[in-house]
Structure 1
Amino acid sequence: MKNNQLLRFTTAGSVDDGKSTLIGRLLYDSKSIFEDQLEAIELTSKKRGHDGVDLALFTDGLKDEREQGITIDVAYRYFTTPKRKFIIADTPGHIQYTRNMVTGASSANAAIILVDARHGVIEQTKRHSFIASLLNIPHLIVCVNKMDLVDFSEETYNNVIDQFEEFSSKLLVKDVRFIPISALKGDNVVNKSENMPWYQGAPMLHTLETLHISSDINKIDARFPVQTVIRPQNDTHRDYRGYAGRIASGVIRKGDEVTVMPSGFTSKVKSIDTDKGSLNEAYAPMSVAITLEDDIDVSRGDMIVRSNNKPTVSQDLEVMLCWLNNKEAKTNAKYSIRHTSNDQKAMIKEVVYKININSLERDITDKTLKMNDISKVRIRTTKPLMVDSYRENRTTGSIILVDDATNETVAAGMVI
C-alpha cells in the first residue's frame, strides 16, 4: 500500500552548520532533483572552483544568499519518497532572522536541529530548540553534523548528546532523537554510514519516513471554524444551507449534538458534504460543508463545536507573541487580529515579560516589542474569540496581528 502521508519539517542551526548542504544531500541522494537544476548547479560549483557539486546551492535560492553563502529567507522544498511526501522549510541561522524560523516552523511536524560536532551545543542551538519547543513542534531530530571532521568519534558525539540533554530537560519537547551525520560526505543522511559502525540507529531519511505523526493532530476537541455559507440557487438544492470550512481538530460525525459559538445555539449535524459526496464522519484537516437540522444564523467567523466540549470564549487573551515587524509595537494601538476564520480588532494592553532568547530568562523590566522579540503579552479584542491553548491545539491556539494601515503581518502569537 502506498502511504502518501505528508510530513512537514523545518531545519535550523547556526550559520555554516551545514543546513543547506544537508538538504542538498537529502534531495541529491534521494534522487529528487531535476537534471537541468543539477546541470546549473554543477556549472556554478565549477565556476567557484569546487571539486564536486556544492550541494548547498540547491536550496540557497535568493541571489543575495548565493553571493554571501547564507540563508536569509525561508526556502521551501518539496520531495517525495515511496513512503511519504515532504515539505522542507529551510530557515535562517542568523540571530536577526528569528521571525523567519517562527514562520517556517509554525506548521511543522518535526524540526531538524543541526549541531556542528566540533563546536557542540552553542547559543544558537539553544535558541532554535527553544523556539521549536515554544511552537510545540512534536518531534526534534538533533543531527550532529561534520562527524568527518572529528574522525567519526563516538566520544565527541556522546558529549554533544550530554550537552543537549542537560539543556533540553527544561523544554517541553516530547520526542528527541540524535543522529551523527556528515552532510558533505552523505554519512547517515539517506544511506547508513560505514564510517560509524558504533551508531546502531537509522539514517535521517528513514527516521523522517517512519516518524509517527498521526497523533500530532488533536483528535479530541472537535473544532470547525466556518469560512463561508453555501446557498446554491438552483432547483436541485433549493433549501440547501451548508457551512463550509476546514476542520481544525477532532472528529465530527453525522447526528452529533453541536453548539454554534459564540451565539450558543445548539443543533445536530444533518449531513457532512464534500465534492465527492456525503460522509458519515470527517476529521482534521479535511475541508467539508456541514448542514444542521435547525435553521440557525451561522456566518463566517463562527465556530461549530461539540456541545459537551467547548473552547474558551474570551476578549482577554494571554499570548506568547513573536514580533515580526521592523517598526516597534505600540501599546494600546489598534491592530487587526486573525484567528482561524475570524477577523476582529484588538490592542496590546500590556507586555508582561520579554524572553531573553540566549539565556531563556524572563525580563520584566523591558516593555518594548522590537523585531524578533518574543514576549508574553495581554491582548484585548473587540469581540470574543473562541480559543484553546496552543499546547492543546495549534490551529485554534494561534493568532496573527495585522497593521491596518500597511496590511502587513506584524506579529504571530500562541495563546497560553
Structure 2
Amino acid sequence: MPSDSPELTPPPGAVRPMRPSAALDTLAELEVAHEELRVAEEEVRVQQEQIEALLNRYEAERRWRNHLSGLVPVALAHTDGAGKLVDANQELAVLLQVPLPRLAGKPLSVYLQPEDVPPFRSAIRILATGAADRQRLRVTLRARQHGAARAELFGFPDAAAGQTSETRLQWVLLPVTEEPSRSARSGPGSADALGLATALAELSRLPMADDDRQRLLSRMAVLVQSAVPAATAVSITVGSPLDPQQLGSDSLVAQELDGLQLQAGQGPCWDAHATGAVLTVDDLPADERWPRLRPLLASSPVRSVLALPLREGGESVGVVNVYAAEPGTFAGESRRIAELVTAAVSGVLQSVAERESLRTLAANLEKALTSRATIDQAKGVLMARLGIDADEAFARLVALSNRLNVKLRDLAQLVVDGHAAEVIDAARQ
C-alpha cells in the first residue's frame, strides 16, 4: 500500500478548506479592522470629552462673571433679549429689597414704574440689535419695602448679534440722590462707579474675546486706566520685573517708566512684586527709596504711582502699575477701585492660563491618539506581511526604533506610507 493517502476531493457545494497563509491573511485583516474600529471609538470618546470640556468651560466662565459681579460696589444684572433676569449681584437684590435667588427669571421691568417700562423695552431692542453700544435711562425702581427710588439705568450689549432668546444684555443701576455733591453720598461717585462696573464687565469677557496674551494685557491696561480715577497711564507686568514674561501698557508714558525701573533695577514695581503688598508713591521724583531710579526721572511726567501685585495661589505673579501726573493722587477711593480691578485682572489671567493649559493638554492628547493610530496601522501591515501576531509586530517596531534611534511614531509612519519592505529589511540586518 502506498504510504500516503490520496488527496480527497470535496464534493460539489462543500466549503473548501482555507490555506494556512490565506487564513493568516484573513486574521490579520480582521485584526487591523478591529484596531481601526477601536481607534474610531476612541476618537468618538475624545470628541465627547472635548464637548464636555467646552460645556464645563462655559459654566466656569459664567461662574467667573458672577464672581466678578459680586465684587462690584453697584447693582449689576444680565438679562436675555426679552428683558428677563439671567443673573444679578447682591447689590441689585439689596437695592430692590428682594432675595437674590428670587430674581432669576423675573422680568426686570416688573421692578420699574409703569411709565418707565416702554423706554426700557425700547432700550432692549436697540442694544440687542446692535443699533447702539450703550443706553442710559432715568427710572424709578419699585422697591418692595421702602417704596420708590430713583436710579440711573445703564445698558450694554453682551453681544450685538440680533435679538434672540440667547441674547444677553448687561445692566448697571446707580441710585440717584437729591444731593448732588459727592460728599453727601456713600461709596464711589456715579462716574467712578460706572467706570468700575463697566471695566469689570469688560474684563470678565476678555478670555473669550482674545487669545493673544500681549494684546490682552494692553486691553486690560486700558480698562484699568478707565476705571481708576485720576490715572493717566497703566502697565501690567506678568512675571518678575527682572525678567518679565509679558508686558502690556496703554501708553508710551507707562512704557517709558517701566523701562526706567528696569534700567535702574529698582522701583515701585520691583518692591510690590517682591513684597506682595500694595505700594503707594505720592511724589516719585522726591522719593528716596530708589536712589538709582531718581536720576533717571528728569523727563518723566509721572508723579504718583500705585503698584499692585497680581496674586495667584497666594504668590505674586506680576504687578499692575498705575501712574498719574499729579502728586498724592492714589488714596482712599482711587486705591480701593484699583485694588478691585487688579483682583479682576488676576482672575482673568488665571482663567487664560487655565485655558492655555487645557489647550496644550488637548493638543498633546490629539497627537498621542494620532501616533497610536499610526502605530496600530503599522502593526497591522507587519502582521499581514510577516504572519505574526500584534504583540510580535509591536515588539519588532520597538526593537528597530531603539536600534536606529528613530521615534516609534516616525517609523510606524514609514510603514503606513508604503515603505514596509524597507523597514522589514532593516529589521533583518
TM over 0.5: no
Q: Which one has the largest radius of gyration?
A: 2
Which structure dedicates a bigger proportion of its chain to helix? 2
Which structure dedicates a bigger proportion of its chain to strand? 1
Return the TM-score normalized by structure 1.
0.23
Return the TM-score normalized by structure 2.
0.22
